[in-house]
Homo-oligomer: A and B are copies of this chain.
Amino acid sequence: MGSSAVEKLFSRPLPVTAKFAEREERKQTVLITLEMHSITSPIHTKELVVRLTDETDLFFLYTLRLNEEDFQSLKAQQGLLVDFSAFPQRFVDLLELCLQEQHKESPKFILHLVSSDKTCASLNVIETNPFKHLTHLSLRLVPGADSDVKKYLADCLKLLKDQYTSLQTKLETTEAELKQRLHQTQQ
């Protein structure tokens, strides 16, 4: 059994233009989550996990798992100039640029999710200018199989159940506290 630690690096909803084969292009708000998974046993490895989900479409799930080795081929292929340890922060920086630009009429940085078949999709970070669209980064994501979506939804459900329980406790505490204060004031 290996042990692993998860460090959350980014988790924000972002506007994405989805271009899927045989479907009309559409704007979609996608929650993009970046996590660094550190596996310490049997050997120490790190994996960057990128996950795209959509609160309004619970079956929407795209994932990328990128380890050091995968990154080396991505780096060569896209001519990146950073190493694996610096890459997550550079990616977050690009996403932050998209966030800053999201409410502008002509945002300078945008995200495209492009897929020609059901086996994969590319998330592209694009800089728009009047002359050309520059792709800063293009990541290949895999759509979640039923078993992945099932696990993801179970995790969401567990989390929400905990939140529900805390909220219930908070309601009871608030009610009791305020009623007590009310009682004291009335005396």
Residues on A lying within 8 angstroms of B by beta carbon are 58-59, 145-147, 149-150, 153-154, 156-158, 160-161, 163-164, 167-168, 170-171, 174-175, 178-179, 181-182, 185-186
Chain B residues in 8 Å Cβ range of A150: 59, 146, 149-150, 153
Cα distance, A174 to B176, chains bound together (Å): 11
Cα distance, A175 to B175, chains bound together (Å): 7
- Kindly report how many copies of this chain are found in the complex they form together: 2
Q: Which residue of B lies closest to A146 (CB)?
A: B146
Question: Does B185 lie within 8 Å of A154, measured CB to CB?
Answer: no
A58-B158, A157-B160, A160-B160 are known contacts; what are 14 more A-B pairs with Cβ within 8 Å?
A: A58-B157, A146-B147, A150-B153, A153-B154, A153-B157, A157-B157, A171-B171, A171-B174, A174-B175, A174-B178, A178-B178, A182-B182, A182-B185, A185-B185
With both chains docked as a complex, state the minimum distance between the C-beta of A58 and any C-beta of chain B, in angstroms. Answer: 4
Cα distance, A156 to B181, chains bound together (Å): 38
8 shortest interchain CB distances as A-B pairs: A146-B146, A178-B178, A153-B153, A58-B154, A146-B147, A185-B185, A150-B150, A171-B171
Chain B residues in 8 Å Cβ range of A160: 157, 160-161, 164
Chain B residues in 8 Å Cβ range of A171: 167, 170-171, 174
Cα distance, A85 to B174, chains bound together (Å): 49
Cα distance, A28 to B73, chains bound together (Å): 49
Cα distance, A160 to B168, chains bound together (Å): 13
Chain B residues in 8 Å Cβ range of A182: 178, 181-182, 185
With both chains docked as a complex, state the minimum distance between the C-beta of A152 and any C-beta of chain B, in angstroms. Answer: 9
Chain B residues in 8 Å Cβ range of A158: 58
Q: Which residue of B lies closest to A174 (CB)?
A: B175
